[in-house]
Every structure is written in C-alpha cells, then in structure tokens.
Homo-oligomer: A and B are copies of this chain.
Amino acid sequence: MLFTGRELRSMIHDNGTLSLSLQKVNIGVPADDEIVVRIEGSPLNPSDIGLLLGPADLSASAKADGDSPGLKFQILSSRRAAVVGRVGQSLIVGNEGAGTVVAAGREWSKLEGKLVGMIGGGMYADYRRIKGKDVIELPVGATAVDGASMFVNPLTALGFVETARSQGHKAIVHTAAASNLGQMLQKICLADDIPLVNIVRSLEQVEVLRGIGATHVLNSKDDSFSDALTAAIAETGATIAFDAIGGGTLGSAIVQAMEGAAVQRMKDYNRYGSTVFKQLYIYGALDTAPTTLNRLAFGFEWSVSGWLLFPFLQKAGLDVGQRLRRRVVDELTTTFASRYTRTIGLAEALDPDVLRAYERKATGEKFLIDPTRDAART
C-alpha cells in the first residue's frame, strides 16, 4: 500500500522571505525495518516554532504562490545572518508526535495497528515513515494525545535533574516554571526529593504550581521578588538554575541571589566572593534580547552555559537515555501528562491568526497539531 499525504514545509528564500507550505508527498513503502505512522498528535514546542517561523516578521503575511495552502513573510533584516545556512532548503518541521501504525515492514509487523510515540523531525505531516526501533509503543490505555509530547519535555525535565545530580547540586531553580515542562520538573523533584525554586510571572501561574504541590513559587513581578529569591535559595541550597527565558537580567539575578545566599554564610570577607560554584543553564529563548550579566556580584565561581537536550543525551550515554525513556513510559499519564489549550489541523497551522496565537508562547497555552482534523478537506 502506498501512502500519500501532506507535509508542512518551511523555507527561507534568497530574497529574504520565509514561506510555509503544505507539500503533497508520497510516503513510500516501508522497508523491512521501517513502519508508516499516521500522525494524530504533534505539539508545537518553542523549538518547533523556532524552526517553523525562523526570524520572520509576523506582523504582515501574504498568501504564497500556488494552489495549496501557504503563507509568506519577510525575514527581520537584523536576523538574516543567523539563518543564512538554511536559505533555499525546504525544511520539514515537527520534532515529535504520536499516532497509529498503518503499515509495517517485515521486522515490525507486530506494531501494526498500535499507537506509538516518536521523535525525529517531520511530524507535521499526515504520515511519517520511520525505523521501527525509533518509536515507543504507548502503554495500554494511553491515547495519541498522551504520547504526542513524550520526548522533548519529559526528557528535558529529567535531563535537568540528571545534570544537577551529576554535577553535585542539591537543589534547582527554574524559570517560566508553570509550563508543561515546569510542571513535569516539579513532579519529578517532589518524587525524587529535590528542592525546587519555581519562578513564574503571574499569580495564576503561582496557583498552577501550588496545585501540584510546589513549596517554593516566586512571582518575579512581586516587589519583594529579589529578597524572596535569595531567601528561597538560602533555604534550599540551590546552586544550579535552568532558564527558559534567556534574555534580559533574570538569569543574572538568580546567580546573584545564589552568591548572596553563599556570602551570608561566610565568616570572613573575601574580595573574590564566595567559594560556592554557581551554574546557570540557558535552555530557551522566550526573550530573544541579549543576556545581561551583572557578574561583579557573582564572585568568580560561576558559569553560564547553553543547555540542549540532544547534546545532553549524547554525553549522558545510552544507559542513562534508556533509563529516562523507561520512566517516561511508566509515568506517561501522571508525571509526564501534557495539557493542550487548543488542537488544530495541519492547514489551520497556516492560518495567520492561529499562527500568531501559537507564536506568542504564553505560559499555560500550548497547541497540538492533529492532521486528521482537516485531512478530509484537502
């Protein structure tokens, strides 16, 4: 059987435009070690949106040439240099997803008709051909929606805890902490008995985290935020932070609070600051502004670094990766449950209003693409 379906593509052109389109593609016949999955759920994670929309100026869009649904945007000129490497390439999008196996090569016939979750790109499509060994069969009772986000957020949250532990930190600070990822991290930390200091930006988000048992939840908009942060860090002993925001001064304020808490415990003045090592990892870019570090308040024992899931998994090794994946499957509908505020079809993802809505990346808002919603309409 031959499957034909739509695939969402993003392309940056020589003339400084970015175009989104739905391409009709022939999925091909699965090889012996392959399967074909009908995608029934794929999340719009910030990293997906980054690839999908690049540095496009979303304030004005135009209908792309041709018959199929499509849009084009201007690229912000200040950011063109950063994407010169992808000019002229029609890129598939969608890191992860879940769905039903509709065809299988000889080695994987046992998967036929089963629900599986997978990672590997190109999930914003009706069908995805993929190696059988690269998918995970969903546990009994789990739906495609349950399995759609079983890799990026769960493994990132677990990766934070692994990173903290392997580097000898005993408590963690997390920003944008009411996100799906942040809620997973809070649940893991509760189960594993690791103190977590959550930083959010609204009272509503404070409530979300309190509702799942969080002890330390700070609203960065409160006047007393800075003092409360130092107090929470002093109480928990947190010396590592994971920051989804990246731009501005919040990361710096966290390191400064860690140093402040450490200096409070010192008996003698040391012009170089404390001997406590403080690590800030930036793993997101909810704020694309530059990062500003008031490092004179850090002492000299500090580090600010990028953190990304795939390099982490590579360094952690196969055994760790397998242990983490097993935990995700075991706790798929509890610790690692994701919540979506809206489900859209593939064609809907190219509606300018819908697109601008998911691009805002508001905490608490999360979109899921389910291509079967509009498949009939193509």
Residues of A within 8 A of B (CB): 47, 50-51, 82, 85-86, 89, 91, 246, 252, 263, 266, 269-272, 275, 282-283, 285, 288, 290-308, 310-311
Distance A271 CA – B266 CA, assembled complex (angstroms): 44
Are B299 and A306 in contact, CB atoms less than 8 angstroms apart? Answer: yes
Are A306 and B298 in contact, CB atoms less than 8 angstroms apart?
Answer: yes
Q: Is the CB of A275 within 8 A of B85?
A: no
Given contacts A293-B293, A303-B305, 14 further A-B contacts (CB under 8 A): A82-B297, A85-B266, A86-B271, A91-B269, A272-B308, A275-B311, A285-B296, A290-B295, A291-B292, A293-B304, A298-B306, A300-B308, A301-B308, A301-B311
- Whether A301 pairs with B306 at a CB distance below 8 angstroms is yes
Copies in the complex: 2
Q: Are B292 and A292 in contact (CB under 8 A)?
A: yes
Once the chains are docked, how many angstroms separate the CA of A288 from the CA of B294? 9
Question: Among B86, B282, B293, which residue has its beta carbon within 8 angstroms of that of A290?
Answer: B293
Q: Which residues of B contact A272 (CB under 8 A)?
A: 308, 310
B307 contacts A300, CB within 8 Å? yes
Question: With A and B bound together, what is the CA distance between A196 and B299 in angstroms?
Answer: 27
| A85 to B82 CA separation, bound complex (whole angstroms) | 44
A371 to chain B, nearest CB (A): 22
Given contacts A85-B263, A269-B86, A271-B51, contact A295 B306 (CB under 8 A): yes
Q: Which B residues touch A271, using CB under 8 A? A: 47, 50-51, 86
> Which of A86, A266, A300 has the most chain B CB within a 10 Å cutoff?
A300
Chain B nearest Cβ from A90, distance in angstroms: 12
Nearest chain-B residue to A12 (Cβ)? B269
User: Which residues of the other chain, B, contact A296 by a CB distance below 8 angstroms?
Assistant: 82, 285, 288
- The contact of A269 among B89, B308, B311, by CB within 8 Å, is B89
Shortest distance from the beta carbon of A342 to any chain B beta carbon, whole Å: 24
Q: Is the CB of B303 within 8 A of A304?
A: yes
| Contacts A271-B86, A300-B306 given; does A293 touch B295 at CB 8 Å | no
When distances are taken between beta carbons in the complex, the residues of chain B under 8 Å from A297 are: 82
The 3 A-B pairs of least Cβ separation, nearest first, read A300-B306, A85-B269, A300-B308
